Amino acid sequence: MLNSTGELEFSNEEDPEIISQLTSLALSDGKSSAGAPEKTGYPDSVYVMAANIFQGIRIEKSAQKVLIKYGNEPLRSFSESEDQSFQRLSYELAFSALKYQDILETILIDSCIFPSTTIPDHLSSLIIVMLYDFQDRKFQTRVLSDNEESISEVQEVENLLNSFKIKLAAALARCRIKHDALSIYHILPETVRKQELRASTLPLYAWINTCKISPEEVYNNLKRRGYNKVKSVLHIDDKVFAVDQHCYDVLIFPSHLKNDLINIDLFKDYKLIFQDKSRSLAVHSVKALLNMDDDILMVNTGSWHTVAHMSILTNNNTSKVFVCGVQSQAKDPDLKTLFTKMGCKNIEILHETFINIESKDHRLQKVKVILLLPRCSGLGVSNPVEFILNEHEDTEFLKDHSQGGISVDKLHILAQQQYEQLTHAMKFTKAQAVVYCTCSVCPEENEAVVKKALEFQDLGNKVQPYRLSPPVLPLCSLKEIQLSTDKFFRMEPSEITNGCFLSVLTRERDPSETVSVKDVLARAAAKGLLDGIELGKSSKREKKKKKSKISLTKAATSDNGIQMKIAEFLNRETKASANLSETVTKPSLPQKNTAQVGASSQTRKHKLAPHPAVPTFMKNTCPSRPRERQTHFIRPRPEDRMVALKPIEIILPPVFMPFSSPQGIRSRMPTQHLYCHWVAPKPLVPTCLPTPSLSRKGEKPKDDTRSSLLRPPRRWL
């Protein structure tokens, strides 16, 4: 029971006019518009929960500067609620009291509440949060509902504050004059004031659960509820929504629609889920790096909604999402129930912390991408209360934001933890990419950590090293392009989004592990993705890796029936031409070269008619390019070379057949046509076929080919 010696003394001194003048100097910020609804206070349970939150995040002072003592025991709550709106009110009240902790303590001392009253230490936190709300209501009496459950500690503190109403208002006015501020709001650090200004306009982001509903169905559902689709929700007071430019499944709503949105079925049935945009950017970056059967490892996820979003994006793949750091197995049933409601089926929970997981863990052999969301200062977040509720961050997060900054020592501790986690992620040899994302704007937590990890990465393994890769997200403005020139993706805090930093590290591709098109098609066929599609056989076998084992194999012939018929036809006609030439003339072996020259000269002077044994089909057919050099061939007879000039006259200029001919046919094809080039100053001998001068092993030509071609025939020999 509170014992106030001054309660009766000040109870009769209330002057409405004085109170009205003093309360005009409101503590909160003086920004409330005339049309804003009048505040009537909170339920008793909200005060109790806010006091317990404040007890855990309050700023502790040295013994010399302690003005008010706080107890260590939390207050007992009789109606603990899991409702998110209840928690939001409690966190907002505790965070507001934390920002003004020094001012509120000074007012309590100046108004003689301390030490003139005997107040138990465990109620000090409750007095602080209720005093903030009391001045925010301009010291007006709280309106109580009939069915509200009252708490005795709250009623006692409220009676005490009402009895010191005038003294509290006077102390508030003196504090404003002392700091020469237009309002007490301006006593706050500039960074905190800018943060509050951004938070007042920061829109809401929610991603669509495509396992339950399609984007078109969401649009239609919202339109039936009076929401209109626009390009931007900024400075719009109506019921509107927009689609995010970076993430196709993320919708944007004005902040003033929060209470209306949380009560519609789309959010109650987990078809739309509130999430900070930085987390959606992270999971979409991972999705862009995945193949069909790649697994993902998520580290320091914070909110389970981030895990669910990653699962929904990979629902059509065979990927698994591993989540580490769930130390309490008692949470498993609740998490599984939540994931079942959201339609997630590919999530596996690991109870080890990330640092304690071995890089060669057999469960993670298919993990190709690691998503690292390390604990950070969060100095890029404009609305820390919403971020804590959505991302389940530690309440210490609020303490840093209440002062508009973070100490250098704490920043170095966070940066070291981030560096250790990133280097550990780079040790997973099977992983091919690491996505590093923070909600901070401090370079010490972002660029410095990534560059240091790349510089000192372990190069002793046989895997390829990591390198910095460009952002995989679309750059939607000139400012984003300028901020991403060094391959980092950044978003500065603004009135439309929180600050964000994102980096993608990928391994350099090992040339020895390059996957061929044939391997990709074979893998797809094995999974049944190419039903009804026939894959053509390769015409060559791939070369082996070592040069010492390189060997040329026989080219596979085509299964086309037309090509086989053409090959048989050519073979048959070549034999027929050879037999016909034997019956016409048979020169002696010493006169072989002379006869060849004479035939060549006659071909140049007179255009001979095609031999009747050669079909007209040869006019559109040319010998094919051999795909590999023969290891052995049949030495053609002199008679074959004598007759070979006749078909070549028709197929000038020489080209190559588009189909593969059998090896046996090529060895029997006449070779004298290699000299039938009309204007070339040099003997144009294709490198793919042997020349007559080399047809006999070790035999040298008897005279110059060029001179023999230009010499007139000597018929008298």
Active site residues: 439
Which residue bears the tokens 């945009």? 277
For residues 418 and 421, give the distance between their C-alpha atoms in angstroms, rounded to a whole number: 5
Residue 441: burial class (beta carbons within 10 Å; 0-12, 13-18, 19+):
buried
For residues 23 and 183, give the distance between their C-alpha atoms in angstroms, rounded to a whole number: 11
Q: Where are the alpha helices (DSSP H) in 6-43?
A: 7-11, 16-23
Other C-beta atoms closer than 10 Å to the C-beta of 557 total 15
Tokens, residue 619: 């006019």
For residues 16 and 462, give the distance between their C-alpha atoms in angstroms, rounded to a whole number: 81
What lies within 8 Å, CB to CB, of 312 at 6+ separation is: 209, 210, 211, 342, 343, 344
How far, CA to CA in Å, does 287 sit from each of 83, 259, 313, 494? Answer: 32, 32, 7, 26
Strand pairing of 321-324 and 347-350? parallel
How far, CA to CA in Å, does 577 sit from each of 581, 592, 613? Answer: 6, 18, 6
For residues 218 and 211, give the distance between their C-alpha atoms in angstroms, rounded to a whole number: 12
| Residue at 538: amino acid letter | S
Contact 79, 151 (CB under 8 A): no
Shortest CA distance to 380 belongs to which of 241, 489, 301? 489
- Alpha-carbon dihedral sign for residues 333, 334, 337, 339: negative
**DSSP output for 652-714:** PSP--BSSPPPHHHHHHS--GGGG--SS-SS----TTS--GGGSSTTPPPSS-HHHHHHSPP-
For residues 63 and 382, give the distance between their C-alpha atoms in angstroms, rounded to a whole number: 33
Q: Cis check for the bond before 653: say yes or no (omega within 30 of 0).
A: yes
In 317-452, beta strands by DSSP E: 321-324, 347-350, 367-372, 433-438
Maximum CA extent, the chain:
152
Shortest CA distance to 403 belongs to which of 434, 378, 370, 366? 378
Query: What is the helix, strand, coil percentage profile of the chain, to 5?
Result: 45, 10, 45
Which residue bears the tokens 């890769």? 469
**DSSP output for 583-627:** HH----GGGHHHHHHHHHHHHHHS-PPPPTTS-GGGGG--PBPPS
Helix, coil or strand: residue 2:
coil
Contact 446, 438 (CB under 8 A): yes
Q: Any bridge partners for residue 243, and if so which? A: 251
**Ramachandran sector of residue 10 (left: φ over 0; alpha: ψ -120 to 50; beta: rest):** alpha
How far, CA to CA in Å, does 361 sit from each of 325, 369, 429? Answer: 15, 15, 11
For residues 283 and 248, give the distance between their C-alpha atoms in angstroms, rounded to a whole number: 12
